[in-house]
Amino acid sequence: MITLEAVHKSFGPKRVLRGVDLTIPKGESMVIIGGSGTGKSVMLKSVLGLVTPDQGKISVDGQDVTHAQIGRDRDAFLARFGMLFQGGALFDSLTVWQNVAFRLLRGSLKRPKAEAREIAIEKLRRVGLTPDVADLFPSELSGGMQKRVGLARAIAAEPEIIFFDEPTTGLDPIMSGVINDLIREIVVEMGATAMTITHDMTSVRAIADKVAMLHDGVIKWTGPIAQMDESGDPYLDQFIHGRAEGPIEAVR
Amino acid sequence: MTALTTPLAHLGRAVLAFLAVTGRVAIFAFDGLTHVFRPPFYLREFLTALLHIGWLSLPVVGLTAFFTGGALALQIYAGGARFSAEAVVPQIVAIGMVRELGPVLVGLMIAARVTSSIAAEIATMKVTEQIDALVTLSTHPMKYLTAPRVLAALIVVPLLVGIGDIIGIYGGYIVGTQQLGFNPASYIKNTVDFLEFSDIFSSMVKGCAFGGIAATMGCYFGMQSGRGAQGVGQATKASVQAAAVLILAANFLLTSVFFAS
Ligand SMILES: Nc1ncnc2c1ncn2[C@@H]1O[C@H](COP(=O)(O)OP(=O)(O)O)[C@@H](O)[C@H]1O
Ligand SMILES: [Mg+2]
């Protein structure tokens, strides 16, 4: 279970998170929606310790991780996580399969090279990529393919907690469908806890158990996906129907 | 009153900012060094760094040293002729190259070539979230990126300096024997007889220090990079500036330690 309590984060004068409260129960799929630039990525990164909150508390399974430093404990903590970055964040000095198998080639999860490669190719297949991309470099792939390699890397070590930052942005509708199914499968089959950021309402309906909407630095609404359409919340309604008119200003 | 104090305030702020940066760099350098000696070690990264910092720098180091050695021989000959001391060319070229110009020029070339490329590479990794990705994959960026590069530079730059010294002396030898009429055998004998172990030792120590500075500055400014392409450009510029100035300052310091007694 992941809990955020009154998390604040500013970058200089820009107050991005202004008291985020959110709970993600174990084994559930939480989808975060909200306008671009509202701090969704910053929120994910603060759970991972990549961004240190100015105030508030973040805990994972009851353990306070707000100010965890990089070190042995942190490695053990991070070994339970998989993260797909918004831009893919593939290592461009390594080939595709070495990216996917990064964790399996070094550190505590290290295994023989041939085995790591096999697992990488299997994960690539699961995100709809053929084995012949394995030996290419990330710069030789299209944006959507890079995204899927990033996804394969995030799930390669079968983490218990997975964060997806805009997994379907830049993919065609069919590939989006494949990725949505995959995320759903990971949550159901592996019992993983997932937190997904997306703007794609089809994705939201396909993968969410619960939805949370971030606006103005706070969680404006959160609840089960079934209640999303009848929430009566004007912010949420405007967002899910994509209306230009409403309480959320179009110019931010 | 303010007209008087404002420049002072500016100066004060600049000094404080400089001290703060120096402190942060020192902490970073120390942190980087401790990671050099603590596992896990990344052999592949280390070998790649050796290749880039050492082997691929050879052409530029060789050319720089060769031309400088040649020019040095010409200058010393012309200068020495004023008080009929032309004969000292081999000795002064040797001492000038080994004690000062070899290490300094190699250091500056490494700052231009290696510091800039390390800073740009790491800054790009920072900007494209690759550093964050490393952390989430339980890999310490200081260990994976900084330690192999710093260690490689500490080992390989002294070797480059040694090679630079030899090629510089050879440049002087070519000019001396082809153009200035020195006898080849006595030129070599004069060089070898004149150089002392302490000259060569100081050259190596300088190379080690300058290599460490060059790699550390590249890593530090890369890791500190701001966002976007502009951030990468800034980081690269700042790293080369800092490395060059620090190398020259360290050279002065080391020369005082070794030779001013
Ligand atoms: N490292 C950083 N330094 C400065 N500003 C940042 C940083 N990371 C994010 N921001 C700012 O925080 C805001 C929220 O960013 P982000 O979380 O990426 O938005 P999104 O909701 O689209 O994912 C943006 O205005 C961004 O400019
Ligand atoms: Mg984002």
Statement: residue B83 has pLDDT above 80: yes
Domain regions of chain A by residue span: 2-241
- Annotate chain A with DSSP letters as a single string: -EEEEEEEEEETTEEEEEEEEEEE-TT-EEEEE--TTSSHHHHHHHHHTSS--SEEEEEETTEE-TTPPSSHHHHHHHTTEEEE-TT----TTS-HHHHHTGGGGSGGG---HHHHHHHHHHHHHHTT--GGGTTS-GGGS-HHHHHHHHHHHHHTT--SEEEEESTTTT--HHHHHHHHHHHHHHHHHH--EEEEE-S-HHHHHHH-SEEEEEETTEEEEEEEGGGSTT---HHHHHHHHT-SSSSS-S--
CB A33 near ligand 1, within 6 Å: no
Pairing mode, strands A2-11 and A14-24:
antiparallel
Mutation test of ligand 1: which of A41, A52, A166, A195 has the most ligand atoms closer than 8 Å to its C-beta? A41
| Chain centroid offset of residue B169 CA | 19
Closest-lying ligand 1 atom to the alpha carbon of residue A38: 21
Single out the residue of A195, A66, A53, A228 nearest to residue A220, CA to CA. Answer: A228
**Which residues does chain A have within 8 Å of residue B132's beta carbon, measured at their own beta carbons?**
45, 48, 50, 85, 89
CB A40 near ligand 1, within 6 Å: yes
Give per-residue pLDDT as tens, B56-70.
Answer: 999 999 999 999 999
Q: What is the pTM of this model?
A: 0.90
What whole-number percentage of chain B has pLDDT above 90?
Answer: 77
Statement: residue B1 has pLDDT above 60: no
Statement: residue B108 has pLDDT above 70: yes
Mean pLDDT, chain B, rounded, equals 93
Look at residue B184 in the predicted model and tell me its pLDDT.
Answer: 94
A163: which strand partners? A83, A195
Question: Would you state the CATH architecture of domain A2-241?
Answer: 3-Layer(aba) Sandwich (3.40)
Q: At what angle do helices A143-155 and A113-126 cross, to 10 degrees?
A: 120
Look at residue A224 in the predicted model and tell me its pLDDT.
Answer: 95
CA–CA min distance B118, chain A (Å): 13
Nearest ligand to the CA atom of A86? 2
**CB contact (8 A) between residue A85 and residue B132:** yes
Contact B33, B90 (CB under 8 A): no
A89 vs B40, B132, B138: nearest CB: B132
* Interface test mutation site (partner A, options B138, B145, B227, B232, max chain A beta carbons within 10 A): B138
Statement: residue B207 has pLDDT above 80: yes
Query: In this predicted structure, which of A115-129, A222-236, B4-18, B131-145 has the lowest mean pLDDT?
Result: B4-18
- Tens-level pLDDT at each residue, chain A (252 residues): 999 999 999 999 999 999 999 999 999 999 999 988 899 999 999 999 899 999 999 999 888 888 766 556 777 788 889 999 998 999 999 999 999 999 999 877 888 999 999 999 999 998 889 999 999 999 999 888 998 999 999 999 889 999 999 999 888 898 889 889 888 988 888 889 999 999 889 999 999 999 999 999 999 999 999 999 988 889 999 998 888 888 888 766
Shortest-distance Cα residue to atom 3 of ligand 1: A11
**Does residue A90 sit at the B interface (CB-CB below 8 Å)?**
yes
CA–CA min distance B228, chain A (Å): 13
Closest-lying ligand 1 atom to the alpha carbon of residue A34: 21
Q: ipTM, 2 decimals?
A: 0.90
**CB contact (8 A) between residue A87 and residue B133:** no
* Interface test mutation site (partner A, options B48, B137, B149, max chain A beta carbons within 10 A): B137
Contact A194, A84 (CB under 8 A): no
Look at residue B118 in the predicted model and tell me its pLDDT.
Answer: 97
Look at residue A69 in the predicted model and tell me its pLDDT.
Answer: 61
